[in-house]
Amino acid sequence: MPQQDSDGRISAVRSFNRFYTRKLGVLDQQLLKTPFSLSEARVLYELANGENLAAKEIGIELGLDPGYLSRIIQNFDENGLITRKPLSSDRRQYQLSLTAKGRQAFAKLDRSSHDDVAAMLATLPRGDSERLIGAMAVIERLLGTPSGSPPAILRGPRPGDMGWVVQSHGSLYASEYGFDSSFEGLVAEIAAKFLSSFDASRERCWIAEIDGAQVGSIFLVRHTDDVAKLRLLLVDPAGRGQRLGRRLVGECVAFGRQCGYRKITLWTQSILVAARGIYQDAGFVLVATEPHRSFGQSLIGETWEREL
C-alpha cells in the first residue's frame, strides 16, 4: 500500500477517534456530570453487573493498570461505595461488592448514560439511527476478536419482532424439548399482553441481533409495584457461544434495579439446564418447585427469585 494511502487511513481513524470521544464527553474529568471518571464508571459497571468479583478479574476485563485500579478501589472504599473481603484462596486479593450507596451511585450514572445516548439518538431520523447502530456493530466486529461469530447487538423491539419471538420459541422448544403448540400459544399471549399494556417506565424488551438477523430475546415486565418478572429468554443456536444469555439477563437486572423494583422473579422448567445456569450465575435463587403437565410434557416447574 502506498505510504500516502496508509497515512490517509491513519488520519481518518484518528480524526474519528477525536470526534467520537468529544461527542460522548469521555475526556471530561467527570463523566456525565457525575464525580466519576470513565475508568471509575467502568469499574462501577462491572461491580453492578457481576457477582462477588475480585479486583484482579476487573483489572483483566478492563485492561487497567493494577496500581491505577488499586487507587480506584481505595477511593470507592473510602467513600462507602464498596465492601472488600479477602479471598480465602489468596489473602492478597479482595472480593468486591457494591454497598447500597454504591448501587445508588451506579443507578444514577446508568440513568444519565441512558438519557445522554437517548438524547443523541433522538436528533436522528429513524433510518439514520438504525444505520448508526449498524455501523457501530460493524466497527465492533472488525476490531474485536477475529474468530467466531460476530458480536450480537441488543436493541429494542421493532414491528415484526414479536412475531419472530413467538415463532422462534415455538419451533426451538418443539425441536429441542418436544413441546407442543400450546407453548407457542402461551408465548403469543405473553407477547400480545406486552404490546397491549406496555409501560415504558417499568417494562422493557430486548432483541439480540447479529448482522441484521434476530438471535435472542428477553422481557422484563411489571408483576407488582415491587416485583418484576423476567420472561421469554431465548438464544437461537446462531447466537450461542458468546454468553448472550448472560448479557440479556444482566440487562434485565440492571434495568429492574434502575426502576426501583425490590425483586425479580421468573418461572422456568428443570429440563432447561442452560437457562437455569444463567439464572444462577446472575444471582437468582430457586425458591419453589412443582410438577405439572404442560406443553405435552411431564415437567417440573421452578420459580426463581433475585433480590435487588
Claim to verify: residue 65 and residue 183 sit in the same structural domain: no
pLDDT digit string (tens) for the chain, length 308 residues? 455 566 778 888 888 877 776 766 554 544 556 677 778 888 888 888 776 678 888 888 777 888 888 888 899 999 999 888 877 766 677 788 888 898 888 888 888 777 777 787 888 886 787 778 777 777 776 776 555 567 788 999 999 999 999 999 999 999 999 999 999 999 999 999 999 999 989 999 999 998 889 999 999 999 999 999 999 999 998 888 888 999 999 999 999 998 999 999 999 999 999 999 999 999 999 999 999 999 999 999 999 999 99
The strand pair at 204-210 and 153-155 is best described as antiparallel
pLDDT of residue 267: 96
Any domain includes 145? no
The reported pLDDT for the residue numbered 250 is 93
User: Are 303 and 222 in the same domain?
Assistant: yes
CATH of the domain at 236: 3.40.630.30
At residue 114, the pLDDT reads 77
195 shares its domain with 73 = no
- Give residues with Cβ within 8 angstroms of 138, minimum separation 6: none
Residue type (1 letter), 95: Q
Nearest one of 277, 268, 276, 273 to 295, comparing CA atoms: 268
CATH number for the domain that contains residue 56? 1.10.10.10
Distance from C-alpha of 31 to C-alpha of 27, rounded to nearest angstrom = 8
**Domain-located, residue 67:** yes
Range(s) of the domain holding residue 58: 3-106
Q: Are 243 and 151 in contact (CB under 8 A)?
A: no
Domain count across the chain: 2
Which residue, 103, 105, 82, is CA-closest to 35? 105
For residues 155 and 95, membership in a common domain is answered with no
Residue 66: Cβ-neighbour burial (10 angstroms; 0-12, 13-18, 19+): exposed
C-alpha dihedral, 40 to 46 to 48 to 51, nearest 10°: -140
Q: Which residues contact 190 (CB under 8 A, 6 or more apart)?
A: 219, 231, 232
